[in-house]
Amino acid sequence: MRTKASTPFLLRQLIWFLLAAIVLFFTLTTRNFLSIGNFINILFNASVLGVLVIGQSFTLLTGNFDLSIESTLGLCGLLGIWFITHAGPPLYGSGWMVAPTVSIIVILFIGLGIGVINGVLITKMKVNNFVVTLAMLITIRGLTLLVNNGQTAYSVSQSYNWIGLGKLGPIPIPIVVFLLLFAFAYVVTTYTPFGRELFAIGANRNASYASGVKPETRIIQVYMISGLLAALAGWMLSARLTNAMSSMGQGSVFEVFAAAVIGGISLKGGQGSMIGALGGVLLLTTIGAGLNLMNVSVYWIQAIRGFIILIAMLIEAQKVRYSRALADPGEQKNR
């Protein structure tokens, strides 16, 4: 890391150069890309993904996965609307008519609760983190289907929908929420003992334990953060759509991983920053928006996005090799 000259700087900030290159490309190839309206649109679309990526980054920093977030998002988004609406058509809620504020608090606690279950199973019961969160992904999605028998629930409550549709002056509230959370997460991970401990655990768990860190407590805490933010993302998404399908969020964990890892968060733990993760989120969202403006067929968009993720990771892998070579020219690393 501490090597001289301009190249390492470029490597460290690679994600922003990639983002700049992508912005430049779309600016040249489409007419309306470089406008305030479009930037607000990109940030708006990035908000839910961004909140999920923050949560995931916390677990990734400690060297853990949380695959279950996409299902937590689905369950909490559906329950948030389901609690507060009439039963039967046209809204298909529970008929319980819970006050929106209470409903929101409840779903945030459900998110926290899921995080606690994940964390305890992983740390206290020693089950593999990948398997625990994979099983939770399946279980919670099943629960989501069960709650409303697969039916979509609709929300007409202003006091629920504001987080998705409201505006603070000219800026949509989801953007404010997501940027503030990134700033907060950046401060927490960079400047607090808690944040530094997460890096320590991810880099070398046994060493961190030896130096007085409590890895198990911290890991449970990061899963709680991840669950809480997934619930928040569920609220934001269902409020923006003003409805919640039981399949909401399905498949999004792939994109969350892609954004975090493109942004430089290592899957092995202990490396990366929240600012980089923000860059990853913006890169993926910008690509989506640009391809839309270019009128690329929807059938192509998915393939192209996957391809771009692959290219970004290819560059990233070469960066790691290059900086290793800089650090230790003699090293012949196989794997």
- State which residue, 12 or 214, has the beta carbon closest to another protein: 214
- State which residue, 233 or 261, has the beta carbon closest to another protein: 261
Q: Rounded CA gap, 214 and 222, in Å?
A: 13
Residue listed under structure tokens 């399905």? 250
- State which residue, 95 or 306, has the beta carbon closest to another protein: 306
- State which residue, 240 or 316, has the beta carbon closest to another protein: 316
- State which residue, 55 or 269, has the beta carbon closest to another protein: 269
Q: Please state the closest distance from residue 40 (CB atom) to another protein, in A.
A: 27
**What's the first-to-final CA gap in the chain, in angstroms?**
20
- State which residue, 63 or 172, has the beta carbon closest to another protein: 63
Return the sign of the alpha-carbon dihedral for residues 87, 89, 92, 97.
negative
Q: Please state the closest distance from residue 266 (CB atom) to another protein, in A.
A: 9
Consecutive H or E run containing 195? helix 193-203
- State which residue, 37 or 251, has the beta carbon closest to another protein: 251
Q: Please state the closest distance from residue 165 (CB atom) to another protein, in A.
A: 29
Q: Please state the closest distance from residue 183 (CB atom) to another protein, in A.
A: 27
Q: Please state the closest distance from residue 57 (CB atom) to another protein, in A.
A: 15
Q: Please state the closest distance from residue 46 (CB atom) to another protein, in A.
A: 18
- As beta bridge partners, residue 171 has 168
Q: Rounded CA gap, 287 and 309, in Å?
A: 10
Q: Rounded CA gap, 54 and 72, in Å?
A: 15
Q: Please state the closest distance from residue 96 (CB atom) to another protein, in A.
A: 20
Cα angle, residue 257 at apex, residues 255 and 258 outer, rounded to 5°: 60
Looking at the chain, how many residues does it have? 335
Q: What is the largest CA-CA distance in the chain?
A: 70
Residues 6+ apart with CB under 8 A from 252: 49, 52, 70, 73
Residue ranges binding another protein (CB under 8 A):
62-64, 121-123, 125-132, 134-143, 145-146, 149-150, 205-206, 208-210, 214-216, 250-251, 254, 257-258, 261, 267-269, 299-307, 309-310, 313-314, 317-318, 320-321, 334-335
Cβ atoms of 227 and 118 within 8 Å: the answer is yes
Task: Indicate the angle between helix axes 69-84 and 129-147, nearest 10 degrees.
Answer: 20
